[in-house]
Amino acid sequence: MAERFDMSVKFAGLKLANPVFTASGTCGYADELADFLDVDALGGFITKSITLKPRKGNPTPRIVETDAGMLNAIGLANVGLERFVAEKLPVIARMKSAVFVNVAGTTIEEYVAVVERLAEEKAIAGFELNISCPNVKKGGISFGTDPAQVEEITRAVKKACGSKVLIVKLAPAVTDISVTARAAVAGGADALSLINTFTAMVIDIETRRPVLANRTGGLSGPAIKPVAVYLVNKVYREVAREAGIPLLGLGGIRSAADAVEFLIAGATAVAIGTASFVEPDCATQVVAGLREYCLRKKIARLDELTGSLHEPA
């Protein structure tokens, strides 16, 4: 019998059963994962990006594997708001985990329209604002790299989301991520998630063409983890700690040890992304491993870990 340990964490006013989420775009609409793990055992679940209208997504090839990572250029393929409400929401409503709907769009009005429609839905704990997708021609990352636009879109969406929690997902490839983080906080973000993928390219040297039909894609996986740990720590020290804003850390996590690094760096919770493609039950494995770590290190509560980084020896 495993020793009892309270895995719960407070996240932007919500009490989560544990600090492990599945990341947007890597866990479908929940039913896809149900064959492989108990979706109720997740701390949080973030849907793939929902846009006002359905999106077909990009032509293929949409992915390519790299050394210790992968590039994707899916192009926000999704069923659109109305079908999401009709077909996916009833499945999500049965989940015990905190569900966040990731929202994307090409104009501020589109983001607001999606959030307004869903703001009263009891099944949803909050929203994650995708202003950092590198794979669409309009919107996406262009919102996320300009601090003035980050603040404006965050403020507009916050107004529309009522009592729901608003997480803003930050783009990593900016001159100073703390500037966009501050802009999101100024706009009213309840939490920040970081990092989204890095725009990247793979070239087929035989044909001299980019492998992806979209030319470029977002780099994810273990390759980006040390950068993500650094950026989480930077935003924690420079913005989040003082503002009292929790961070959801992600980028290349595939083990409990990886997750602990993010917590020490300053994250309150973590999300599993690319690793779920390889091990669909990775998130629940990380929950179990976190529990073992806390027991072994005699840590009373998980939030003791958040931002507990020591200075170099």
Which residues, in sequence order, are bridge partners of residue 271?
A: 21, 250
Q: Answer yes or no whether residue 67 interacts with other proteins by CB under 8 A.
A: yes
Q: How far is 267 from 225, CA to CA, in rounded Å? A: 14
Tell me which of 133, 161, 282, 294 is the catalytic residue.
133
Shortest Å distance, C-beta 77 to other proteins: 5
The two tokens of residue 271 are 């999300």
Output 95 or 108, the one with its CB closest to other proteins: 95
Q: How far is 82 from 77, CA to CA, in rounded Å? A: 14
Shortest Å distance, C-beta 235 to other proteins: 27
Q: Quote the DSSP letter at residue 309.
A: P
User: What's the CA angle centered on 51, arms 48 and 56, to 5 degrees?
Assistant: 80
Picking from 146, 100, 108, the residue whose alpha carbon sits closest to that of residue 124 is 100
Q: Answer yes or no whether residue 196 interacts with other proteins by CB under 8 A.
A: no
User: Judged by CB under 8 A, which of 12, 14, 43, 48 binds other proteins?
Assistant: 48
Q: Answer yes or no whether residue 270 interacts with other proteins by CB under 8 A.
A: no
Convert residues 199-228 into a mask of x (bound to other proteins by CB under 8 A) and - (unbound). --------------x-------xx------
User: Judged by CB under 8 A, which of 5, 7, 41, 57 binds other proteins?
Assistant: 57
Q: How far is 127 from 3, CA to CA, in rounded Å? A: 34
**Please, what is the angle between helix 282-296 and helix 256-265, to 10°?**
70
Q: Answer yes or no whether residue 36 interacts with other proteins by CB under 8 A.
A: yes
Picking from 51, 92, 99, the residue whose alpha carbon sits closest to that of residue 75 is 51
State which of positions 73-92 bind other proteins (CB under 8 A): 74, 77
Peptide bond into 147 cis (omega under 30): no
Q: Do 190 and 166 touch, CB atoms closer than 8 A? A: yes
Active site annotation includes 133: yes
Count of positions on this chain that bind other proteins (CB under 8 A): 36
Shortest Å distance, C-beta 130 to other proteins: 15
Q: Answer yes or no whether residue 12 interacts with other proteins by CB under 8 A.
A: no
> CA-CA distances (angstroms) from residue 21 to 32, 41, 214, 249, 266?
16, 10, 29, 10, 16
Q: Answer yes or no whether residue 140 interacts with other proteins by CB under 8 A.
A: no
Convert residues 222-261 into a mask of x (bound to other proteins by CB under 8 A) and - (unbound). x---------------------------------------
Shortest Å distance, C-beta 90 to other proteins: 18
Q: Answer yes or no whether residue 293 interacts with other proteins by CB under 8 A.
A: no
Q: Answer yes or no whether residue 59 interacts with other proteins by CB under 8 A.
A: yes
Q: Do 84 and 30 touch, CB atoms closer than 8 A? A: no
Q: How far is 29 from 158, CA to CA, in rounded Å? A: 23
User: Judged by CB under 8 A, which of 12, 14, 25, 140 binds other proteins?
Assistant: 25
User: Judged by CB under 8 A, which of 26, 154, 178, 284 binds other proteins?
Assistant: 26
User: Judged by CB under 8 A, which of 6, 32, 87, 120 binds other proteins?
Assistant: 32
User: Judged by CB under 8 A, which of 44, 69, 134, 246 binds other proteins?
Assistant: 69
- DSSP letters, 12-43, are TTEEESSSEEEPTTSSTTSTTTTTTS-GGG-S
Active site amino acids = 133
Which residues lie near other proteins (CB under 8 A)? 25-28, 32-33, 35-36, 48, 56-65, 67-70, 72, 74, 77, 213, 221-222, 274, 276-281
